[in-house]
Amino acid sequence: MATREAPPAGQTRPRRRALVAQLAAPLRSFVATEAGSAGLLLAATAAALVWANSPWSDAYESLWGTELAVRIGGAELVRDLRHWVDDGLMALFFLVIGLEVRRELSMGELTDRRRMDVPAIAALGGLAVPALLYLAVNPSGDAAAGWGIVIGTDTAFLLGALALVGPACPTQLRVFLLALSIVDDVVAVAVIGLVYSEAVDVAWLAVALASLAGIAMLGRLRVWRASAYAVVGGVLWVAAEQSGLHPAIAGMAAGLLVTARPPRREHVERAASLFRAFRQSPLPSVGYSAKLGLVRAVSLNERLQTALHPWTSYVVVPLFALANAGVDLRGGVLGDALASPVTWGVALGLVVGKLVGVAGGTLGSVRLGLGALPQGVGPGQAVGGAALSGIGFTVALLITGLAFDSPALRDQATVGVLIALVLATLNGRTAFWLAAVLRGERNAGLPMALDRPVDPRRDHIRGPADAPLTLVEYGDFECSFCGRATGVVHELRERFGDRLRYVFRHLPLADVHERAELAAQAVEAAGAQGRFWEMHDLLFEHQDELELEDLIGHGGELGLAVERFARELGEARHEGRVREDAASAEASGARGTPTFFIGERRHVGPYDTESLARELEASREAAR
């Protein structure tokens, strides 16, 4: 499964620029949900094993073999309960994966495609090597069909294990493992759909493809109501089920087609005005309009993730484990499994194959200059992550049920998956310990400290230069969120008075805001004539007027020597200063704008007046 520091609607991020930083809020939420579900997943696995080996084992098989039928007129769909979980609920699981992949590629951590190079190579190595090792142990016969069992990684278990045995502050390692999981999951689902599906019914396949085209068309038409997508998605699931394709591939494809986008400023402003209207006139109709305005401001992709992800992580996946991990090990079954090449082919493929394939692909591609590890992640930690990727559980169990008709082979493969779960975790723990002891790799996060301390001789400061409280902002003059943050800064300066000094540094996100870098140079050119803060305030008041002629006009309005001002802009005389600020932002762990530092510590979380005031007071107490 695929795997959410500033609010998604409160910070502008670069699309391609390689400014590294901590996880964004949506990704931190996604990761937290995945890691939190690992405990439930483990409990469900243990419960399934205990139940299947108890005096009530017959009830276990009877429950999951119970038929459940859906009938509409003369049409009916009859499947047993295990099938409804595996093919029905798990389609939602893969839908959420597709949604997260699309979000991260469109507006998240992976918008810079260069960050995908090393994880993609590592993932391909982690797919090929395990499959080859499995086939080396099981080269022919019915057992050979199980090669797909060893290609997948269970991100929920992986993140849970990473929290237990990984380095302190593993945020950047999580980003790397997320990127790796994206390729891993897409290929695994493709294998399920192309290799392990039944004979395909062409007519139903056409309906499924038409449904996918319908979802894409809804996105192109900017349809924002979830109900339309739900109807088309229901048709897609039925068509995939009837066509012979596994619904997992339909779920993944549908998720990839649901567009993700940052909140549009006009929609946010519209929602805010509707809520103000409701506050003034709390009528049901006004409240309903305010609710719709808020819903429309958030992309359907993120709304679906918010609604579905807790259910898939805390209900669907544990149910899947409960339905599929129950192996009755009595009557010599365990002995047969431990002597079976299927069991050890699965364990070898996951434990050794994933480690060798992922670690080899990672370190090899870095050594060949094809890419670099994320900032803060060391080679030893990459090896530890490669070891943990051998936890295949969810996808492995799903493919086990598809690959083998024989209950004996399914039981043997399941035992191999459980052995790999334990051994891969121990391998990861050992790798992280060795990385810490031998290489000093004790954390895998980005810097939290301000890279270049505030220098009154260089930095632009509002307030006394020796004030006890310091607030540093990295900002972009075209970023609407930075524009709103100026009000927050004003309120803080009023509250703290001469106790606060406010420092502004440049972080123009040129790939998002084409005029931001020129605007930053204009402010520096104004600063060269002693009018930095006047130009700073004026540009934030006129964020839609940042073309060269607009900037020259602003300079004239402020009474600058316009000829000198225009010449310095034309010669890009202050470009070096702006780039120095941007470099310090990267070295300080800033990712988007605005990013605040309280003293010399990067602020994580909301940046409203009260939140920043609390952090400033806390920094003062800590200094005392």
**Quick one: 292 and 304 in the same domain?**
no
What DSSP string describes 1-21? -------TTS-B--SS-----
**Quick one: 344 and 270 in the same domain?**
no
Query: Contact, 424 vs 388, CB < 8 A?
Result: yes
Q: How many CB atoms are located within 10 Å of the residue 268 CB?
A: 19
> Which residues are within 8 A (CB) of 142 and not within 5 positions of it... i.e. 6 or more apart?
404, 405, 406, 409
**Quick one: 294 and 340 in the same domain?**
no
For β-strands 469-475 and 500-506, DSSP reports them as: parallel
**Quick one: 275 and 303 in the same domain?**
no
**Quick one: 33 and 149 in the same domain?**
yes
Give the pLDDT of residue 190: 81
Strand-pair partners of 598: 471, 601
Q: What is the CATH number of the domain that holds 367?
A: 1.20.1530.10
Q: How many whole angstroms from its chain centre is CA 501? A: 35
Domain membership of residue 1 (yes or no) is no
**Quick one: 82 and 168 in the same domain?**
yes
**Quick one: 344 and 474 in the same domain?**
no
**Quick one: 250 and 134 in the same domain?**
yes
**Quick one: 370 and 484 in the same domain?**
no
Q: What is the CATH number of the domain that holds 470?
A: 3.40.30.10
Sign of CA dihedral 289, 292, 293, 294: positive
Domain membership of residue 536 (yes or no) is yes
Token pair 């004003």 is at which residue? 490
d(CA 243, CA 202) in angstroms, rounded, equals: 7
Full residue range of the structural domain in which residue 152 is found: 26-197+246-262+299-439
Give the pLDDT of residue 22: 38
| 3-state SS, residue 72 | strand
d(CA 148, CA 584) in angstroms, rounded, equals: 46
Domain membership of residue 422 (yes or no) is yes
Give the pLDDT of residue 30: 53
> Which stretches of the chain drop beneath a pLDDT of 70?
1-38, 108-114, 168-169, 199, 263-265, 268, 444-446
Domain membership of residue 236 (yes or no) is no
**How many independent structural domains does the chain possess?**
3
Query: Contact, 63 vs 81, CB < 8 A?
Result: yes
**Quick one: 417 and 369 in the same domain?**
yes
Domain membership of residue 98 (yes or no) is yes
Give the pLDDT of residue 553: 93
What is the pTM (predicted TM-score) of this model?
A: 0.66
Domain boundary residue, one of 439, 469, 496: 439
d(CA 556, CA 559) in angstroms, rounded, equals: 5
The conformation of residue 531, written as its DSSP 8-state character, comes to -
Domain membership of residue 446 (yes or no) is no
Query: Contact, 587 vs 474, CB < 8 A?
Result: no
Domain membership of residue 317 (yes or no) is yes
Domain membership of residue 240 (yes or no) is no
Which secondary-structure segment (H or E) carries 598?
strand 595-598
**Quick one: 469 and 428 in the same domain?**
no
pLDDT tens, residue by residue, 72-98: 877 778 888 888 888 888 888 888 888
Give the pLDDT of residue 162: 81
**Quick one: 372 and 306 in the same domain?**
yes
Query: Contact, 376 vs 445, CB < 8 A?
Result: yes
Give the pLDDT of residue 446: 67
Query: Contact, 197 vs 268, CB < 8 A?
Result: no
